[in-house]
Structure 1
């Protein structure tokens, strides 16, 4: 069976503690917008997978109850930064498996200010509990090769991946900064973005260093926010006359870490390149599409280096060529692809549970031709890439 996104909605992503709201307030706003966009009511929804990382158990129910008390099953999902895409994947499986005709995928996060740590999604730079954390192997790889410093752990492991890429391929700090400049420039036209200021490459290089070579303007911030998507069957689309709103989920694949993630002792592999490459391979195989068929991409640029690594994992360029690719303008308006027209995680923001679904919202608007000033001309096929350390990589192909 086929599955379609017929409604999407999201809140503006904001710096934590900017607004006096609770996670159920933001979930109500995003979920309500998605239902309104689809032109349906909550009592037509049959199941609700809800993604979040920092709230208490059963927070999904508390959030969804603001939309209605219909007794439908609610599933609480946590897959680190890939949580949103995982909730969407569950929704798609419910529909394509014939279990439901209408499912609401919802993601949200209410975060605290300050950098993320690396232990089970926690905060802080201490190393005492890494040995028993879900990411112990990943940080063990880093520590063996680079040591362990007092900078935020996630910035360390991605920053060290950047150093390795620079040493092996000659990637430059200016190329890394070009990712940040592009995504900040894109976000100027996104009213949902946490940041809407443009910066030059020189300004990004001059910003405060978080972990060399990554500066603050190349790192995704902590954010509050929510996003939602209504996923339905072909039968539901036909019964309710939703063909004009429907964007097909052509293929979707998730991969987790393999031996390759750890065998090399490289941070490049430990941060997810092998599983991103495998998830993309499966999605291409299932859809019959390739990266050459894609027009617009929303990918997981938690740090600028991860955008470059993902270019390579998705097959947009050969290994080591990603710095040159972004520098050439191939991944912005007027280039071969437009990558992160929303501003990406770096500028749009990164409320963990909402990120993967917000990517789908942006691609849905792009494929419908509803993205306003950031519209990618003639967009027909979109690709979303959402990754979480620990680890999970989800690649989704959408067609308008």
Structure 2
């Protein structure tokens, strides 16, 4: 699998609140068309498509793509919780890198409902039974929605282990808002201060306020991946390529470590990142920009350490020194991240790809990271799966 894979086209629509979006198929169709237009090709050039979504009936991918074209190509629907979009990207990259195909469309969308995430099927075992059992043991708090218990519990574990103050999470959320001000596709574009975050509704006393959690969101994003041969034959954009990529799933440490940070995927993230750095032959110190999975401010903080952006236990200093933003060591979530941009589950991984591609092309406008040449994407889904992707400028 040594064929270089280029990101020749990307597309994304503005993320919006549930109840205000177009239907999932319309959103998906629009994002797909934008990516094709950006690549400068037609749907007839696409050999395979991978479509990610979490909340939807089977073959929803066909419903969206048939409005662009009906060429009889393989369309694979992907569901891997919050890492769905990047899981589809992972499959598409493999297909090209293996030499099976030369041009693939990757699409992610989500039409969400208001409120906290919950289980759809109540008549069968939940994929989260083991996660819930460990969380009940380590955290308790059954009255709190499950996602908040998981990630709030992980943040609490970090606070207890390293003395991290609640203010560190507030500073992350405030940083996300400052970045999102410059992103016209983000859901929340109003800047907030750390004090605003701390003074918002307390949903877990001493652990989490409302502004520290990402909102349910509707949206879509897409990418066109191509081989070097195809790109050269068609004269396509070859500014950005995927230098390395890894997907990981849970190991026994998720459940037997007695650590909520590991329950929510710390080890998956650390392992995937290590594989990507080894593949690329460079380390975290070489990164210019990162889009990481900040479904909660707590997860952004622990992910700094999992990805090696700072030492374990060093996140508070990393934040206080401004090393997570413009002028620091590495700009994290210039898009505003899930916290401000929004988190339509199936679209998130492709939205991260969109942002990093624009950064490496130098097309990010007011949020452009100066001289960005190397970018890292981290997309996590509980249950679980983690995909880490490194992009580089050609």
Q: Same fold (TM over 0.5)?
A: yes
Aligned mates of 2:264, 2:221 — CA distance in 1: 25
Aligned mates of 1:277, 1:71 — CA distance in 2: 39
Which deviates more from structure 2 when the two are superposed, residues 245-254 or residues 331-340? 245-254
Structure 2 unaligned spans of 5+: none
Aligned mates of 1:7, 1:145 — CA distance in 2: 45
Which deviates more from structure 2 when the two are superposed, residues 209-218 or residues 248-257? 209-218
Which whole-Å deviations, capped at 9, do the CAs of 1:237-275 have from their partners, x for residues lacking one?
A: 1111124x5311000000100011111122111000000
- 1:217 aligns with one of 207, 211, 215: 211
Counting only pairs closer than 5 Å after superposition, residues 353-364 of structure 1 correspond to structure 2 as 353-364=346-357
Instruction: Give 1:161 shift.
Output: 1.1
**3-state SS, counterpart of residue 397 of structure 1:** strand
1:344 is aligned to 2:337: yes
Aligned mates of 1:315, 1:49 — CA distance in 2: 30
Which deviates more from structure 2 when the two are superposed, residues 362-371 or residues 245-254? 245-254
- 1:14 aligns with one of 16, 23, 32: 16
Residue equivalent to 2:201: 208
- 2:222 aligns with one of 228, 252, 257: 228
Residue equivalent to 1:253: 246
Residue equivalent to 1:328: 321
Aligned mates of 1:65, 1:327 — CA distance in 2: 49
Aligned mates of 2:135, 2:114 — CA distance in 1: 25
**3-state SS, counterpart of residue 132 of structure 1:** coil
Counting only pairs closer than 5 Å after superposition, residues 53-132 of structure 1 correspond to structure 2 as 53-117=54-118, 119=119, 122=120, 132=125
1:278 is aligned to 2:279: no
Q: Does structure 2 retain, via aligned residues, the 8 Å contact 1:175–1:324? A: no
Aligned mates of 1:151, 1:176 — CA distance in 2: 19
1:192 is aligned to 2:205: no
Aligned mates of 2:321, 2:261 — CA distance in 1: 23
Instruction: Give 1:388 shift.
Output: 0.2
Aligned mates of 2:195, 2:170 — CA distance in 1: 8
Residue equivalent to 2:166: 173
- 2:379 aligns with one of 386, 394, 398: 386
Instruction: Give 1:344 shift.
Output: 0.2
Which whole-Å deviations, capped at 9, do the CAs of 1:165-203 have from their partners, x for residues lacking one?
A: 111100000001111000011000001101101000000
**3-state SS, counterpart of residue 56 of structure 1:** coil
**3-state SS, counterpart of residue 362 of structure 1:** helix
Q: Does structure 1 retain, via aligned residues, the 8 Å contact 2:197–2:212? A: yes
Q: How many residue pairs get matched? A: 390
Residue equivalent to 1:32: 33
What's the RMSD between the two structures over aligned residues? 1.3
Which whole-Å deviations, capped at 9, do the CAs of 1:7-27 have from their partners, x for residues lacking one?
A: 0001101001113x2111101
Q: Does structure 1 retain, via aligned residues, the 8 Å contact 2:239–2:360? A: no
Instruction: Give 1:140 shift.
Output: 1.1
Q: Does structure 2 retain, via aligned residues, the 8 Å contact 1:237–1:246? A: no
Q: Which 4+ stretches in 1 moved above 3 angstroms?
A: none
Structure 1 unaligned spans of 5+: none
Aligned mates of 1:70, 1:209 — CA distance in 2: 52
Q: Does structure 1 retain, via aligned residues, the 8 Å contact 2:139–2:149? A: no
Residue equivalent to 1:374: 367
Aligned mates of 1:237, 1:365 — CA distance in 2: 18
Instruction: Give 1:149 shift.
Output: 2.2
Residue equivalent to 1:309: 302
Instruction: Give 1:210 shift.
Output: 2.6
**3-state SS, counterpart of residue 285 of structure 2:** helix
Which whole-Å deviations, capped at 9, do the CAs of 1:25-45 have from their partners, x for residues lacking one?
A: 101111111001001111000
Q: Does structure 2 retain, via aligned residues, the 8 Å contact 1:13–1:193? A: yes
**3-state SS, counterpart of residue 51 of structure 2:** strand
Aligned mates of 1:241, 1:211 — CA distance in 2: 54
What is the TM-score when the length of structure 1 is the normalising length?
A: 0.95
Aligned mates of 2:281, 2:342 — CA distance in 1: 32
Which whole-Å deviations, capped at 9, do the CAs of 1:311-360 have from their partners, x for residues lacking one?
A: 10011111111122112100100001000000000000000000001000
What is the TM-score when the length of structure 2 is the normalising length?
A: 0.97
Which deviates more from structure 2 when the two are superposed, residues 292-301 or residues 134-143? 134-143
Q: Does structure 2 retain, via aligned residues, the 8 Å contact 1:142–1:266? A: no
